[in-house]
Structures are given as structure tokens and as C-alpha cells.
Amino acid sequence: MAFLGNTVRGWGGTQAAGREIRSEDLPAITRGASLTRGLGRSYGDSSLPAPDVSSIPGSALANRILSFDAGAGVLRAEAGLTIGEIQRLFLPRKWSFPVLPGTQFVTLGGAVAADIHGKNHHVDGTIGSHVRALTLRTADDSVVESSREENEDIFRATLGGMGLTGHVLEVEVALKRIPSPWIWAESERVPNLDEFIRSLAEAARDWPYTVGWMDALAQGGDLGRGILMRGRWAEPAEAPVHPPRPKPRVTVPFRLPGWTLNSFSMRAFNALYFRRHPNRTKRGIVHPESFFHPLDAVRHWNRVYGRRGFTQHQCVLPETESPGATRRYLEALARGRLGSFLCVIKDCGPEGEGLLSFPRPGISIAVDLPMRSRTQEIIDELNERVLAEGGRIYLAKDALSRREHFQAMEGRLDAFRIIRKRWDPAGRLKSAQSVRLLGDPV
């Protein structure tokens, strides 16, 4: 019998030697540890142990709900509770997790570490602005309460701090009151990039949830064509009376051969996806999972990228003039000629309070890139572009960025380092990613 389990992987397939130790007793397994991981849905090496570390605690089994204030909607739970579980339990009671990322398979601890954002970033900000308090195991192994009132420095550094300031043990977060657990959604084709940016801004004025899917392979006048989606929680009168049932899932049973996704098949998929949408606005009630987490319908969808896996480049670019930063970015992407299966575009609101929180005002673009020999080069070029535009990258997606690029983009790094030094003078907390990007010693 072949025994597995001595590698830890990110969602995109980046791997590190080491073993994940999961237990219901998160305080016990985090003692003396350098990093905790949740469900490993970050794409690159954010949730991987540093090269000199052989095991990593996993929070997924530490998933008890500790308290829920049914009047104010404030939930306190252990860090391994997932967003999907919260939605399953609380949507029927007309409460929603306030910030929903592209997948529901995210733990509370992971959500805090990446300071996740969602389709409502332009109105509701990142998850950090809804988090009331965190219980952390800090580098000296003590357990510390933190909030805006207590140990505020480590609270802010932990929001978006990628687990490098302490192990998140418990999270207290305010859920959002909703009129019904269903979504009223509208979607329409958008012919090109300028129109896309304009219509995102227009939709942002009236809609709490907006996002765009873009055909990153279309060229010339079609550059930036795609589908704009906007939505809001449905009013009781327009929604079905019964709560949504969990959606059935299909599974990609094994890693597909590496050639399945090539520039031809991706181009065909993107064109088909664009043309399948009718040339008018689609409107109606949709299941919240289909609206917020469409890819969750396919378990292990990362396997379509084969053994070599994939990465994602997600950045946010200040968009001030037209044709602006986003166009230059897409042109740089097209020059890479690697193809992208999926490109998601979203306008961001104001920057959050997390010290390394990703979003800032501008346009966020996320492109999936298969891992090939040229991928590093393309990421480097894209990062040069991001740097030139004054943008930044999202660490939860990153596997390949270079230290010098990241540090040049991240003006807030010194403030983060000061707080890290204060709470972890010996430098015990680190990840494979922090070794790569922050230069943590091994």
C-alpha cells in the first residue's frame, strides 16, 4: 500500500515537503509551530511550511461555533469553520457571511490571513472590516485576545498578514442581515475593456455585488470583452419560499494530461462562454452558490491543469485615465502568449485596515496561468507592469513573484515588519511564501 501525505500542496499545485497535522485541538497543535494552514485553497505557497519546517498544523477540524448572537448576528467560532458551513447553517436564518470570495471552501482563519474580498468590495470592504476580535497564538506560544481596542497592532497586522503574525485560533465576525437567502442576478455581455470598466463603475452605484468575467484571449477591438454580473439579495416576495439546498457537485477524478488545456482549447472555451450568453440582459433569481462560487460546483477543478498545475496572477491597478493601466496589463498578458482560462475583473473600493491587505481603489484583475517553462518570465513581466502602474499583487494567489518585485510594490512592508518584530523577535513564524517574498531566514 503506497502511503501518501508527506507533501503539502497549494491549490495550484505548488508543493513543499512536510506533513499536515490536523486536530480538533488547535491550541495544542499550534504550540511551537511556525504556520497554520486552513483548507489550502491559496494558490501558491502561502499555506506551505518553510523549507526547514517538516510539519504544519491544519485547522480544518477545529470548527466549533462558540457563540452566536441571534440579534446582532455576531458569530464567534474556531478558526477552522468554513464559509460554506456558515452559509449552509445561517442563510436559512437570513444571515450571510459578509464577504464571499470565489470559493466557499475557506476557513475563517484563512479568510482573516488573506483579508479576503468579494464581489461587494466596493461597498463592504474586506472581511477585516467585519471582524470584531481574534484570539491568536503568538510566537512566544501565549494566547492573546486582539481587537480594535486590545492589542490593536497585532490585530491590524493579522488581517491580511498571511498567518505570519500568529496562529488564528478563534474569530469573531459580524454576519450580514439579508432579506432572503436567494440572489437576484443580472448579467450582460460587454463588448470591450473600456465599456467593461465603465459598466462596472455604473453597476457599483446601484448593486452590492458586481464582478466581470473576461475573455483574456480576445484581441484588438474585442480586447476585454466579457460578461458583467451584478446581484443583490432577493426580496422575500421575489424569492422561492424554501431555502436553497446545497448544490450537487461533480468531481474531476484525476489530474488530466497536461495538454488538455492549450491555447486552442482555452481560446475555444472563452469564445464559447462569451457567445453562449444571450445578447440581452439575463435577469432572475439564482442560487447563492451559483452566483458567488460557480467553480465550487466542480470538485478538484484544479486537476484540469494536470501535473504541472497552474498559478494565478491577481493584481489591483489604479485606473485613472483611459486607455489606462488595465489595458496595458492585458496587452502585456497577450504578449506572454500563454493563454488564460479564466480572467476575473472587479473594481475595488477603499483600502482596508489590514496592514498587508490586498485591495485598494482601482481595478482588480485575476488571470489563471498554466505552469509552463515560460510562466516565471510572464509573471515577471506582469509584475513589472504592476510596479509601473503603482499597483500590487494578492499574496493568496502568488507562487512565482520575485522578492524584489513584491518589496518594491509594497510600501507598507516596514510597518508590518515593525509589528512582526515586536511580537515575534526571534522570527519563529514563517511560511514558504514569507521565505520567498519577505526573505525570512531558514
Partner 1 sequence: MRVVALGATRGMGRSLTRLMAERGDRLFLLGRDPEELAKAARDLEIRAGNDLQIGSAHCDLEDPDGFTGALDRAAATLGGLDGVIVTAGIFATQEALEQDPAAARRLLEVDFVRTVEFCEEARRRLLTGGGGTLCVFSSVAGERGRKPVVLYGAAKAGLTRYLEGLDHKFRGQGLVTVCVKPGFVRTGMTAGLSAPPFAGEPDAVARQVLSAIDRGTPVIYVPGAWRWIMLMIRSLPRAVMRRVGF
Amino acid at the residue 228: L
Amino acid at the residue 408: A
List the interface residues with partner 1, window 91-120 (CB under 8 A): 93
What gap in Å lies between CA 201 and CA 210, rounded to an integer? 9
Pick from 17, 31, 54, 66 the residue near partner 1 by CB under 8 A. Answer: 66
Pick from 17, 24, 72, 418 the residue near partner 1 by CB under 8 A. Answer: 24
For the record, the C-alpha cell of 8 comes out as: 503539502
Residue pair 247/289 in contact (Cβ under 8 Å)? The answer is: yes
User: At closest approach, how far in Å is the CB of 76 from partner 1?
Assistant: 10
Rounded to 10°, the helix 325-336/193-206 angle is: 130
Which of 37-45, 62-70, 270-278, 328-336 is the region at the interface with partner 1 (rule: CB under 8 A)?
A: 62-70
Pick from 7, 39, 52, 65 the residue near partner 1 by CB under 8 A. Answer: 65
Q: Is 68 in the site for partner 1 (CB under 8 A)?
A: yes
Kindly state the number of chain residues that form the binding site for partner 1, as judged by CB under 8 A.
22
Q: Is 330 in the site for partner 1 (CB under 8 A)?
A: no
What gap in Å lies between CA 59 and CA 53, rounded to an integer? 17
Q: Is 23 in the site for partner 1 (CB under 8 A)?
A: yes
User: At closest approach, how far in Å is the CB of 69 from partner 1?
Assistant: 10
Q: For 31, what's the count of Cα atoms within 13 Å in the CB-facing half-sphere?
A: 6
Specify the residue, 25 or 377, whose C-beta has the smaller distance to partner 1: 25
Q: For 281, what's the count of Cα atoms within 13 Å in the CB-facing half-sphere?
A: 10
Residue pair 45/15 in contact (Cβ under 8 Å)? The answer is: no
Which of 22-30, 121-129, 145-153, 247-255 is the region at the interface with partner 1 (rule: CB under 8 A)?
A: 22-30
Q: Is 61 in the site for partner 1 (CB under 8 A)?
A: yes
Question: Which helix (DSSP H) or strand (DSSP E) does residue 176 occupy?
Answer: strand 176-177
Pick from 9, 51, 89, 232 the residue near partner 1 by CB under 8 A. Answer: 89
Q: Is 72 in the site for partner 1 (CB under 8 A)?
A: no
Residue pair 166/144 in contact (Cβ under 8 Å)? The answer is: yes
Q: Is 71 in the site for partner 1 (CB under 8 A)?
A: no
Q: Is 298 in the site for partner 1 (CB under 8 A)?
A: no
Backbone φ and ψ of 426, nearest 5°: -85, -5
Write out the residues near partner 1 by the rule CB under 8 A. 1-6, 19, 21-25, 29, 55, 61, 64-68, 89, 93
